[in-house]
A and B are shown apart, each in its own frame.
Chain A
Amino acid sequence: EVQLVESGGGLIQPGGSLRLSCAVSGFTVSTNYINWVRQAPGKGLEWVSVIFSGGSTNYADSVKGRFTISRDNSKNILYLQMNSLRAEDTAVYYCARGSSGWAFDHWGQGSLVTVSS
C-alpha cells in the first residue's frame, strides 16, 4: 500500500528555519518524482517543489532561493528545508507522488507550518 506521512511542522518565528520530512512506503523515492504542495488556511492549493528520479529539482518562484527539496534514498524519505520563513509561508504542507500522467496520485495527510512571532 502506498503511504506518505509528513512530519516536522510547527510554530516558527519569521526569519527562522524548519525542515519537513515525508516518510514514504509502498514505493521508492529514488524511482518516482515527488512534490511538495501547500495550502494556506482557507485558501487554495499551491505547488511548491518537485524532485525527479534523476535528482533534478524545481521550485515555485515564491520559494526559490529559500526552500530546498532533497531525499534520502536509503531511508526512503523526502525533505523540504525551509529557510528565511515568512508569515505568508504559513500553510499545511503536503507531499504528493507524481504519476505517469503528470498528476499527483497519492498524498500525505499534511503538516501544518505556522510562521508567527
Chain B
Amino acid sequence: DIQMTQSPSTLSASVGDRVTITCRASQSIGGWLAWYQQKPGKAPKLLIYKASSLESGVPSRFSGSGSGTEFTFTISSLQADDFASYYCQQYSSYSWTFGQGTKVEIK
C-alpha cells in the first residue's frame, strides 16, 4: 500500500501569510493527488485534484503542484476563512490513501 507523509502537522500563520504544505508518497503516483479542506464538524471539501487542477468555485489563492512522489499545496495569501485542516489524498490501483492532515492555526 502507498503511504502518504504530510507535513507539517500543525502550522501557525497570520492573515495575509503565504502557506505551504507538502505531501510525499511512498512510491510514484503520477499526478493522482488531491487536496481537501475540512472545518470542525463538517465534511471535507475538494480544493485541488490531479495535483494542480482547481475545483470549480474554489478561490485562486489555493494552488497545487508536483508529480511522482513530491507534492505541494499553497495558499498564496491566507484569509480568515482558511483556518482549517487540510489533507492530501492519493489514488493508485483502485484504492486511496490520505495524508495525516495539517491544521492551520491563527498565529
Contact = CB atoms under 8 A, between A and B. Distances in A.
A43 to B, nearest CB: 9
Given A102-B32, A104-B34, A105-B55, A35 B98 contact: no
Given A101-B34, A103-B34, A46 B46 contact: no
Contact of B101 (A45, A61, A103, A105): A45
Interface string A70-103: 0000000000000000000000001010010111
Interface residues of B, number: 24
Contacts, number: 66
Nearest to A44: B101
A47 B1 contact: no
A32 B100 CA distance: 27
Interface stretch (B10-18, B66-74, B89-97): B89-97
A103 B43 contact: no
Nearest to A99: B49
Interface in A32-70: 35, 37, 44-47, 50, 52, 56, 58, 60-61
Nearest to B99: A44
Interface size class of A (residues with CB under 8 A): 20 to 34
Contacts of A46: 98
B94 A44 contact: no
Nearest to A107: B43
B8 interface: no
B100 A44 contact: yes
Contacts of A31: none
Interface of B: 1, 32, 34, 36, 38, 43-46, 49-50, 53, 55, 87, 89, 91, 94-101
20 contacts: A35-B96, A37-B44, A44-B87, A44-B100, A45-B36, A45-B89, A45-B101, A47-B96, A56-B94, A94-B44, A96-B44, A102-B91, A103-B34, A103-B49, A103-B89, A104-B34, A104-B36, A107-B44, A107-B45, A108-B43
